[in-house]
Amino acid sequence: MKMQWKYITIFLMLCVFISCGADIFPRMPIIETFASSGCGACISFAQAMDTLYPQYVDSIVFVLYLSPFPADRFDHYSEYYDIGGVPWTALDGDDLDHYVASSVMAFATSRLHSRPISPIGFNLLYYDHDSISIDIYTDSVSYEGEWKLFGLIVKDSLLSGFNRVFQSFITAPAGTSIYITAGEHYYFSAFHELEPDADLELYSAVFFLQTPDSTEIINAFHTSMHPRLRFDFSIQQFACKYAIPPGIIFDVQFKIANWGICDDTYNISLSGDIPAGWEVYFPFTDYLTTAEIWVPAFGDTVLDIEVVASSVDIADIVLSANSDSIMGRIDTIRFEIITGGENLLVCDSPTQEDSVLYQNALDNLGIPYIYWDTERDGLLNDLTAPEFNNIIWFCGEDTLENIVGEERMAIQDFLNSGGNLLLSGSGIGRVNETAFIFFRDILGTRYDGIAENFSSVRGEGSYLFNGISGELGDVQSAEIFSGIDSTGGITIFTYPDETGAGVAKDDFANSIILGFPPERLQFEIFEEFIGNAVQFLCEGFSGIPTQSAEKPMSPAISVSPNPFNSICQISIAPTAIIKGEKLELYNITGEKVADFSIGSNCNSINWNSQGMTSGIYIVKYSDLEPVRVVLIK
């Protein structure tokens, strides 16, 4: 009985402790938390606001729950969102000069709640590494009265802008009571201590205003603790690359932030490698590539660059900014506008260093490509607008996300429009398990689950892939994909237990899907596969005998000298000569680069390769099997 009372006493003490914690800590928000623990809708909204309308964003507050018991704060916010609600504000300037774009407001009211505008605002007056001053104001008599102000320092524990965590209070932990009079500014100053060697760019000051008798947050404000000089600035780009259709006018946004304690004017200019016929200018000028921009202290402004993309090409644009107040300093940002190209290489892998293997293989083979990293450059949700012929898309061993949702639909639309695709990875099937049409009708394959024995793979089904075999080094998982004859899929790789490891299909589009990361093969084998895969994407199975077909004999081809300067001699065995037939030379993308007539008394030709690059070329002669040769200049 005594033991039972002991447990009851411990339980009651624990409840008292939790209640105290719930009374103090639930009022503490973590702002702009884009970590994986954040809800998807909140993350999407925050990123959309910060990217599209940063000049209107005053705060986005995520409420942190530390109590396991229901609280009045949860009751208040639960009507807004099932995790407790996300209060936010969108303010533009003083005196309640509010503006929210209609599309943003529609998104907010449908996904968050219907009261996004706060009648109380914040202004940042000053801060440095150990002090901060703000003022709080309202024009609404109904919001005049007593409030509780909470101030704290938070630190980014990961990358800048991610996962901000509490460090210390700069108000009373339970809040500082203040009285706000309509039409008058309430000024607040505080001191804070940071370590002498602290990375100030990771720190932010956070304020939020709360009703005195509940936990409703009426508004919030934050600012970075980036050191303040008299004159200082930064320019920010919202993306490094943009893939757009040719023939349109496209706006690229960037932001100039004045980090200094003085107003300043910035000189901005545009330059770079701009394709002929394209135009790039600031739309707020008379089509000029230079401008002067005034930005107040602590302020920022978002501006547009207008790009007239008149053809299929790539523009490498450089934006430069400098201040006359900061001698010798010029800041630059670069971004690319891509309207299409022959080959697009997409890194959608969690191990981004694997992209080097693909780039090295393509470079060695002389295959031109455009590189896109979905982590750095953003998602590719529309692949039909920019004009790409072939896409090499590798997901590595990503078994959680890779091509789910809009990206998978974009790939499907790309293939339906006649584009060609090599898709590889260890988790494509399991995260798209219900996408039967995508696998069966589009790729000609069937997903048969996770492979049991994936120590190696063996190529088959076509001379392009026969012999491409090897062990898979350090692979944690792989998937089974088998060809479906009725929809045109042919199994081109198998695992040691004869289950399917990859499928190729050609009809309205040429496609290859692999259930393993081919970059884990020995590099020489991987490079050979990439070269053959690109050839398949360009040609399909047309003229390429499958395993069951009777293979014609290959002519004996020799090249001398090799390496060579600009001219080499290509010879064919005399026994293979057929009078009147032509010898044709193709690059790895399937483009014919030369053809020669072979006479009955001549079995060699001289090829002037001026303007051509080193790499793999395909020699075709009569109806004999094509021969791949490596020509090195």
Q: What is the CATH number of the domain that holds 153?
A: 2.60.40.10
For residue 264, is pLDDT > 90?
A: yes
Beta strands in 495-552 (DSSP E): 500-506, 510-514
Q: Indicate whether 348 and 326 sit together in one domain.
A: no
For residue 630, is pLDDT > 80?
A: no
Tell whether 426 is covered by a domain: yes
195 or 242: which carries more pLDDT confidence? 242
Averaged pLDDT, 602-621: 73
Q: Indicate whether 322 and 366 sit together in one domain.
A: no
Q: Which residues have CB under 8 Å from 170's CB, separation 6+?
A: 132, 151, 152, 153, 190, 191, 192, 205
Q: Indicate whether 278 and 298 sit together in one domain.
A: yes
What does the pLDDT look like over 346-371, one tens digit per residue? 998 888 788 999 999 999 999 999 99
pLDDT for position 227: 64
Rg over alpha carbons for the chain, rounded to the nearest Å, is 32
For residue 313, is pLDDT > 70?
A: yes
Domain end residue (candidates: 485, 504, 539): 539
Contact between 620 and 584 (Cβ < 8 Å): yes
Containing 77, the helix (H) or strand (E) segment is: helix 72-77
Q: Indicate whether 514 and 589 sit together in one domain.
A: no
Q: Indicate whether 260 and 402 sit together in one domain.
A: no
Q: Indicate whether 408 and 458 sit together in one domain.
A: yes
Domain end residue (candidates: 291, 324, 339): 339
Write b or e for each residue in 485-520: b if 16 or more Cβ atoms lie within 10 A of its Cβ, otherwise e: eebbbbbbbbbeeebbbbbbbbeebbbbbbbbbbbb
- Judged by average pLDDT, the poorest of 76-90, 105-119, 416-430 is 76-90
Q: Indicate whether 518 and 575 sit together in one domain.
A: no
Which structural domain, as residue segments, surrounds residue 323? 233-339
Tell whether 10 is covered by a domain: no
CA quadruple 448, 449, 453, 455: dihedral, nearest 10 = 100
Tell whether 237 is covered by a domain: yes
Residue 255 C-alpha from the chain's centroid: 19
Tell whether 545 is covered by a domain: no
Collapsing DSSP to helix, strand or coil, 282 comes out as strand
For the chain, give the percent of residues with pLDDT over 90.
31
Banded model confidence at residue 612, pLDDT cuts 50, 70, 90: confident
pLDDT for position 386: 82
- Judged by average pLDDT, the poorest of 98-102, 246-250, 449-453 is 98-102
Here the tokens at position 554 are: 């290959």
Tell whether 552 is covered by a domain: no
For residue 467, is pLDDT > 60?
A: yes
pLDDT for position 35: 27
Tell whether 9 is covered by a domain: no
Contact between 76 and 216 (Cβ < 8 Å): yes
249 or 204: which carries more pLDDT confidence? 249
Here the tokens at position 522 are: 């020995």
Contact between 516 and 501 (Cβ < 8 Å): yes
Q: Indicate whether 524 and 566 sit together in one domain.
A: no
pTM of the model: 0.57
Q: Indicate whether 173 and 263 sit together in one domain.
A: no
For residue 549, is pLDDT > 60?
A: no
Q: Indicate whether 166 and 241 sit together in one domain.
A: no
Domain count, the chain: 4
Tell whether 11 is covered by a domain: no
Tell whether 135 is covered by a domain: yes
Here the tokens at position 75 are: 């009751």
Question: Which range among 46-60, 176-190, 431-445 has the greatest average pLDDT?
Answer: 176-190
252 or 584: which carries more pLDDT confidence? 252
Q: Indicate whether 450 and 588 sit together in one domain.
A: no
Q: Indicate whether 306 and 438 sit together in one domain.
A: no
Banded model confidence at residue 230, pLDDT cuts 50, 70, 90: confident
pLDDT for position 407: 86
Contact between 249 and 306 (Cβ < 8 Å): yes
Mean of all residue pLDDT scores within the chain: 74
